[in-house]
Amino acid sequence: MSEPLLLERRGPAAWLTLNRPDKMNALNAELLAALEKALDEVAADDDVKVVVLTGAGERAFSAGFDLEAAAGDASLGQAAEQWHEHLEYDVAVTMRLWSFPKPTIAAVRGHCLAGGCELAMACDIVISGESGRFGEPEIRFGSGPVTLLMPFVLGQKRTAELLFTGDVISATDAERAGLVNHVVPDADLEATVDALVRKIAPTPLAVLRLTKLALVRASEAMGLRQAVASNLDLSAMVNAADGPEQREFWEIVRRDGLRAGLAWRDSRYGESLS
């Protein structure tokens, strides 16, 4: 079995690669644990000035949480308490990245959805290839965002539209909305990120850490952590609601596979996100 996450040091940068390309780098417990471990490792390494998070392959940065694994996890049951315990770890890892004491860059190709989009938004800077596709389509099967970062990145109005519709937007539209810093040809993505790392790296690590802490505290002063914690409680309730759309979606996934479930989900909205 390949490692779920790859760690590569490139000069002053540590590149962390979500490494489940056959599953569009979907997030499962093993991958999240590996990400958390890698963040601990590079946080303690003073030779690392910048952390870059990316996804293996061309299809996706990450398509979000592994719904196939969730469909087969009978331990979740229907209780809000069980969902809360399950989602709490997802939120904790995302927030670990958000408050990481060094600058972080998301390098995105392809689908960057749901929990994957949340990981990208948790990074300080997002550079996307032209193939980038961003969104949180969970509402389309009766769920919702796990880590509510989007209002603090995009603002209330744009977030409301994306979360109510489940729409997925292009890299160019994400750049206009403020989710992405720069869009470049896919072939230039790594070189663009490397150049950005070289601009950041000359600054002393202590200065970078304090600047990052100032940004974190500014968001906290605006209530980000309180909003994320409140959303976790509500997300557990939403997932435990057991509405007809939820039941139909999970039944199709269990019976016919995830692709069929996603096709059913999006057909209700007259489009396909595949």
Query: Hey, which residues are catalytic here?
Result: 118, 138
Work out the angle at residue 200's Cα, subtended by the Cα atoms of residues 198 and 202, and round it to the nearest 5 degrees: 80
Closest Cα partner for 59 from 108, 101, 106? Answer: 108
C-beta of residue 61 within 8 angstroms of C-beta of residue 116: yes
Task: Give the contacts of 119 (CB within 8 A, at least 6 positions apart).
Answer: 27, 53, 61, 62, 94, 97, 106
The region, left, alpha or beta by phi > 0 then psi within -120 to 50, assigned to residue 110 is: left
Tally Cβ neighbours within 10 Å of residue 268.
13
For 256, other C-beta atoms within 10 Å of its C-beta total 12
